[in-house]
Amino acid sequence: MSKPVILLGSGGHARVLLDMLRRLEIEILGIADPHRLPGSEHFGVRVLGDDSAIRAYAADGIALVNGIGSLPRDAGLRETLYQRCVAQGYRFQTVVDPRAFTASDVQLAEGVQVMAGAIIQAGTQIAENCIVNSGAIVEHDCRIGRDVHIAPGAVLSGGVELGDKVHIGTGATIIQGIRIGAGSVVGAGSVVTRDVGCKQIVYPPRSHIQDLQQD
């Protein structure tokens, strides 16, 4: 049995997760979001307050679901929220949509979210706080680091390795055996046919790679 959950955030990604949680028949205690009025309702769920509202609940009595989405320029918000809550002793629910397919030996770490239509094949390992979004395909024996977002319709062929905080854009294709370094971004529709270092950006045409600008 899953513990009752609190959903962190109330944007578009949170709305998709809320629908998933309902179909999984997981009890939803409420939403924590500093941009919503405490005591109000959003998407038919009670707003508990800002992120500090979770401290009214014992860490061993609930689980959290990270409803913050992940875009290349603001992915740090999702990671920061995850790390802060874990440091306070809370745990995150791993959620897999009933309409996704995961092979029997796939390893999903804490807080991984697998959305509708996604396919994850045998031997794949996915680390904490990742999103495998709608219709994405992760083929056999892939290794996915922490805080990764594989956007809708992206395809990872067999044996692909992604470092921490990688973003794979919508509809991108990574051929077999490719390694992509931590913090890199693969733009929507890209086709990656060679290894990519850390903190680089890849965008069409297929071999166009450049360093990410430092903040």
Place 161 in a pLDDT band, splitting at 50, 70 and 90: very high
- Read off the pLDDT of residues 135-152 as tens digits, 9 standing for 90 and up: 999 999 999 999 999 999
Question: Which DSSP string corresponds to 120-151?
Answer: E-TT-EE-TT-EE-TT-EE-TT-EE-TT-EE-
Is 215 inside any structural domain? no
Listed residue (129, 166, 126, 165) closest to 143, CA to CA: 126
Average pLDDT of the residues in 20-45: 94
Is 140 inside any structural domain? yes
% of the chain residues with pLDDT over 70: 93
Please tell me the distance from the alpha carbon of residue 3 to that of residue 101, in angstroms, as a whole number.
Answer: 23
- Read off the pLDDT of residues 97-130 as tens digits, 9 standing for 90 and up: 999 999 999 999 999 999 999 999 999 999 999 9
- Residues 64 and 121 both lie in one domain: no
Is 212 inside any structural domain? no
- Residues 100 and 48 both lie in one domain: no
What length does the chain have? 215
Q: Which domain holds residue 171?
A: 95-204
Q: Tokens for 51?
A: 């992120």
Please tell me the distance from the alpha carbon of residue 101 to that of residue 58, in angstroms, as a whole number.
Answer: 33
Please tell me the distance from the alpha carbon of residue 16 to that of residue 46, in angstroms, as a whole number.
Answer: 17
Listed residue (86, 126, 90, 132) closest to 109, CA to CA: 126
Count of the separate structural domains present in the chain: 2
At position 38, the amino acid (one-letter code) is P
Is 213 inside any structural domain? no
CATH code assigned at 68 = 3.40.50.20
